[in-house]
Amino acid sequence: MESFPPSKMALRYVPPLTFLKCTACGTENSRTFKEEDYVFKKTNEVCPKCGNNEMLIVAIYVKEKEKKTLS
Domain ranges of the chain: 14-61
What does each C-alpha distance from 34 to 2, 65, 70 come to in angstroms?
34, 21, 37
Q: How many CA atoms lie within 13 A of 62 on its CB side?
A: 7
The answer to whether the CB of 30 falls within 8 A of the CB of 21 is no
Q: Which has more pLDDT, 39 or 67?
A: 39
| pLDDT score, position 11 | 65
- Grouping H, G, I as helix, E, B as strand and the rest as coil, residue 8 is helix
Mind listing the pLDDT tens digit for each residue in 4-56? 666 655 567 788 999 999 999 999 999 999 999 999 999 999 999 999 999 99
8-state DSSP, 9: H
